[in-house]
Amino acid sequence: MLDCRSIGMGDEKEVPRAPIGACRCRRSAWRLAAVLLVATVWGPALQGAEPLPKPVVTVSTTLMAAAVRAVAGDRVNVNSLLPPRMCPGHFDLSARQAGAAESSALFLAHGFEPFLAALAGRMADRHAVLDVGGNAMVPSCHLVLVGRVKDALIPLLPAAAAELEANAAAYARRVQAASDALRPTLAPLAGRPVFAAVQNAEVLTWMGFDVVATFPRDEGASARTISRLLELGRTQHVVLVADNLQSAGKLGAQLADDLKCRFVMLSNFPEDGTPEGYLAALQDLCRRVAEALAAP
């Protein structure tokens, strides 16, 4: 057998080992140093990183835009196609607008837009038609629109579903409060006989007026139609004729002049496609009608 001492091993001293706790401290120190090094090198770059782009939702009107912004807040970018004073029936979609709509994450329309079929056909399952069965300037119809907008946005933003629900509920309370606040202004007008453009009749009915008859755009009014309207207006003692701003017609003013009654132009779309824009437009409609009837 080999004798360790014969080959010089017996005289070697045993190397002392570091305590286990000291090794763990060294490893923790190295890890901390590595984290600090990464933070020093990459921290500024990470802080300056661009956030993920928001999905773009294209809408046909400022009325739809107001509902989308009320529900989604700043989680989406909204692209509105029609200028607020433009008649949807006479609007021609440009190639640039069509391209912007097609590249968006979602396209929302009311259903009355003439360009809808062609555009929706190219967007497959990325579009929705939200027909509320009435004029969405009327608060009750507007809230139906808000609910359908919310249902259309949740699949696009599933992680924010609870937030969208809460936003829609909060906006509904604002719309109802605004509608209630206008009642004292509208109460004296209840039951008064008026003529209205077809596009504005529901708003005037909501205000409390008795809409005796509606009239079409200029191009749809024959001499016989005008004669019958004038006869009816005189027998029913019509006090106001309301025409549609987007139609930019002359028939309403002509009827009011022949009947010797008040005249007002009303818009079906907010100037500003935001929640505040819709509420301001609703107040403006009531103010315009009240002022027209109060004028000497």
pLDDT of residue 31: 55
Average pLDDT over residues 105-111: 93
* Distance from the Cα of residue 190 to its chain's centroid: 31
Rounded to an integer, what distance in angstroms lies between the CA atom of residue 80 and that of residue 59?
5
Class at the top of the CATH hierarchy for domain 56-182: alpha beta
In words, the CATH class of domain 183-294 is alpha beta
Residue 39: its pLDDT value, please? 41
Location of each CATH 3.40.50.1980 domain in the chain: 56-182, 183-294
What average pLDDT is seen over the chain? 85
Q: Which of 18-27, 124-133, 172-181, 231-240 has the lowest mean pLDDT?
A: 18-27
Number of Cβ atoms within 10 Å of the Cβ of 253: 14
Q: What does the pLDDT look like over 23-81, one tens digit per residue? A: 444 555 445 444 444 344 444 444 555 566 899 999 999 999 999 999 999 999 999 99
Closest C-alpha among 243, 240, 277, 246 to residue 260: 240
pTM: 0.80
Going by C-alpha positions, the residue among 113, 91, 95 that lies closest to residue 103 is 95
Model confidence pLDDT, tens digit, residues 198-254: 999 999 999 999 999 999 988 888 999 999 999 999 999 999 999 999 987 799 999
